[in-house]
Amino acid sequence: MNLIEAFVLGILQGAAEFLPISSSGHLVLVPWWLGWDSPPLVYDVAVHVGTTTAIIIYFWQDWLRLLQAGLTALRQRTIRETEAKLLLFIIVGTLPAALAGMFLEDYFEETFSEPALVAAMLLVTAALLTISEQITASQKNLDSMTWIDAILIGFAQAVAIVPGISRSGSTISAGLSRNIIREGSARFSFLLATPIILGAGAKKLLDILTGSERVDSDLGLALFVGYISSAAVGYFCIAFLMNYLRQRRLYGFAVYCVMFGLVSLIAALIRG
C-alpha cells in the first residue's frame, strides 16, 4: 500500500462511515474501479481508530453527560434523567449489531464482497433513504424515544453488516420511520455508532495480535496517513451532516447511491 492509496482510502472511510453512502461499499468498489489491492487488516484498524477519534471528539460532551447520568442511575438504582434513559437505549440498540458482527461479519464479507452485489446493495441503501423520507412525520425528539424505537434502530444497524448497506443510512432511516426528527435521528445514529466502530477496530486488532495476519513493518507512514485522513474527514462529515439535516432531506444521498450503484453494477456485469 502506497501513501496515495492510504490517503484516498482514509478519506473514503472518514466520509462514507458517517455520510449515508456506505463505507464498506466504497472500500470494495473504489479499489475495484482503480485496480488496487484490498488494504491490509492493520490499515483497517488504523482508519477505524481514526473514525472513532472523530466521533468521540465531536460528541465528547454528549458522552460525558451520558456516562455521568449512567453512574448517577447506578448509585440511585433508578432512571430519572433523560440522558440515563438514552444511554440504556444506546446499550440496547448496540446489541443486535454487536452479535451480528461477532458471529456473521466474516460470512457476509466473504459472501457479499463481489462488486456486483455491493453495487446492488447501494441501491437498497438509496431505497431506504427515499422510503424513510416519504413516510416520516418527524414529530419526536430524542427525549420522546421509546424502547421499540431503540430496538428497531438497533436492528437497522445490524443489517448494515452487509457491504453496501450504509450503517448511518439505515439507522437514520429507521429513526425517521419512527417519526424522530432528522437531527435527532442523526445524533442517535452517531452515538449508537460509537461502540460499534470502536468494537470493529478492536476486533480487527485482536485478529492481528492473534497472528491471523502478518504486519508489514514498512506500513507505518501509510497507517499514519490513513488515521489522520479518516479522523479529519470523519469529523468534518459528522459536522456537515448534522447541519445538513437541520434544513434538508436525504434525497441527495439517495440519488448519489443510485448513480454510483448503477454505474458500478453495469460495469461489474459487463466485466463478468
Which tens digits make up the pLDDT trace of 10-51?
Answer: 999 999 999 999 998 999 999 999 999 888 877 888 898 899
pLDDT value at residue 75:
83
Report how far Cα 108 is from the mean position of its chain's Cα atoms: 16
pLDDT value at residue 129:
97
pLDDT value at residue 216:
64
Say which amino acid occupies 111.
Answer: T
pLDDT value at residue 110:
74
Write out the three cell numbers for 267: 460495469
pLDDT value at residue 116:
95
Instruction: Give pLDDT < 50 ranges for the chain.
Output: none
Is residue 44 within 8 A of residue 31, CB to CB? The reply is no
pLDDT value at residue 217:
60
pLDDT value at residue 179:
94
Q: How far apart are CA 94 and CA 63, in angstroms?
A: 15
